[in-house]
Amino acid sequence: MARIEGHVTWLCVVVAMVVCLGGGVEAGRALLQATCPNPVLPDVNLPAYLGVWYEIGSTALIKTRTENSLACITARYSLIQSGPNAQSIRVRNEGYNTSSGEYSTVIGTASVTGRSLRVSFPPGPEADYRIIYLKGDAADRYDTAVVYSCDAGQTGGFQSLYILSRKPSLDSDESVAGIIEYARTQGITLEATNQFVLTDQDAITCGRNDD
Ligand SMILES: *[C@@H]1O[C@H](CO)[C@@H](O)[C@H](O)[C@H]1NC(C)=O
């Protein structure tokens, strides 16, 4: 009896170890994804950030969840309220739906407190909106911006990255690969299933007349 019990106990220990190890790996993986990094946030001079931006690209889950079939995506930020501690800006995102042939627009609000922004597109929930990179004239107008959002609360965590430019393409001294690499140095790693995807900003598709 004692021998059998011993075997059973040992078996349990082995099973427990496998479960624990397996569980540990799973928990470790989930923990990695469910923990948001804290990238360095540059100072933002809000007026230089306002106006129209072209989306150069965004991450795959955003493309499938909210930007489904959208090309020619632009974002327009305008100031709606300015207070001593917080400001709010209106966000108007527009895109051309290549499936339906129609333009689609969503309007949201971003509240700005120092370097921290929260954006909401009612009736959706508020999302974290972090400007992690800015290039251009801070006293006048930024030319390139990178926005990162991370929600550790969602199953497995959910992160998104957007590259915005004042023109439909990046300046020649910037590259998507360079920006993704910069994000990586800030602790932002995009999962294999959530890689960066370019937005179609083709002049003909978007009805632009680029000289
Ligand atoms: C674009 O149009 C397709 C087909 O009508 C639709 O399923 C999809 O949700 C639309 N995308 C957006 C972002 O509204």
| CA pair distance 98, 8, nearest whole angstrom | 63
Structure tokens at 170: 């990046």
Residue 131 in contact with ligand 1 by CB distance below 6 A: no
Among protein residues, the one whose CA lies closest to atom 12 of ligand 1:
68
Out of 97, 102, 199, mutate this one to test ligand 1's pocket (max ligand atoms within 8 Å of CB): namely 97
Residue 98 in contact with ligand 1 by CB distance below 6 A: no
Out of 68, 103, 104, mutate this one to test ligand 1's pocket (max ligand atoms within 8 Å of CB): namely 68
Residue 97 in contact with ligand 1 by CB distance below 6 A: yes
**Which residue, chain included where needed, has tokens 């971003």?**
110
**Which residue, chain included where needed, has tokens 């407190």?**
113
Out of 66, 99, 105, 106, mutate this one to test ligand 1's pocket (max ligand atoms within 8 Å of CB): namely 99
Residue 109 in contact with ligand 1 by CB distance below 6 A: no
Contacts 24+ apart (CB under 8 A), 156-161: 156/30, 156/33, 156/34, 157/30, 157/33, 157/34, 157/35, 157/36, 158/61, 159/36, 159/59, 159/188, 159/190, 159/194, 160/58, 160/59, 160/61, 160/62, 160/194, 161/58, 161/59, 161/188, 161/190, 161/196
Residue 101 in contact with ligand 1 by CB distance below 6 A: no
pLDDT at 15: 40
Query: What is the per-residue pLDDT across 92-133, written as a single tens digit (0 to 9) for each?
Result: 999 999 999 999 999 999 999 888 889 999 888 888 999 999
**Average pLDDT of adjacent 10-residue blocks, the chain of 211 residues:** 44 39 39 73 94 98 94 97 85 97 96 88 89 97 97 78 98 96 96 96 93 70
